[in-house]
């Protein structure tokens, strides 16, 4: 069974489908490619030969990472470690199957990291944060433990910096599409 992606004009946004790639400036393409291959499991792919600058494209997990070499620190605002690892800083986040294995692997590689725990209604999410060679923050987590609940399905509505209790609302179009997609994913996994 094939599921078509339907654009939702009532959302008012652009007709987006998914994240395609993240582009990062790096001091050394070679160093960064090794990091994204060895640590995160990305694979180098062919990039257009018409580019007249040093870079690399990597792909895995349905997204790409495009690296653009710029060895001059003055041209961009990244900071190399030992920068403080701050979970509240800009970062890219990846789901994982085993946070414990992630931590053990990072320890074996001698990489610095910090952990955080998010808890909501008895559900726990483990997070591991660390930097790539250019100081960009990476998060590895089991965030899929938390259900994706649109605000419209929650029993509260934000109002002037506080949450006021309101009667639960019925699921709308997006909630139904998300549940249908989840159901299809479960069916695909079980067969």
Q: Which residues are catalytic?
A: 139
- What the block records as the tokens of 184 is 């299809």
Q: Kind and range of the H or E element at 191?
A: none
What's the CA gap between 179 and 168, in Å, rounded?
Answer: 17
SS3 sequence of 68-116: EECCCHHHCCCCCCCCCCCCCCCEEEEECCCHHHHHHHHHHCCCCCEEE
- What the block records as the tokens of 108 is 């074996």
């Amino acid at each position: 069974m094939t599921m078509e992606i339907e654009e939702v004009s009532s959302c008012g946004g652009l007709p987006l489908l998914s994240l395609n790639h993240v582009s990062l400036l790096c001091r050394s393409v070679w160093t960064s490619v090794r990091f994204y291959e060895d640590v995160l499991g990305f694979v180098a792919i062919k990039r257009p030969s018409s580019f007249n600058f040093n870079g690399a494209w990597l792909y895995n997990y349905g997204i790409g990472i495009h690296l653009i070499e710029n060895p001059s620190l003055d041209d961009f605002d990244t900071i190399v470690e030992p920068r403080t690892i701050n979970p509240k800083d800009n970062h890219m986040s990846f789901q994982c199957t085993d946070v414990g294995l992630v931590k053990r692997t990072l320890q074996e590689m001698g990489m610095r990291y910090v952990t955080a725990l998010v808890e909501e209604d008895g559900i726990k999410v483990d997070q591991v944060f660390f930097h790539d060679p250019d100081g960009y923050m990476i998060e590895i987590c089991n965030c899929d433990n938390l259900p994706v609940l649109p605000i419209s399905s929650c029993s509260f509505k934000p109002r002037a910096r506080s949450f006021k209790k309101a009667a639960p609302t019925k699921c709308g179009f997006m909630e139904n599409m998300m549940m249908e997609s989840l159901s299809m994913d479960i069916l695909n996994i079980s067969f």
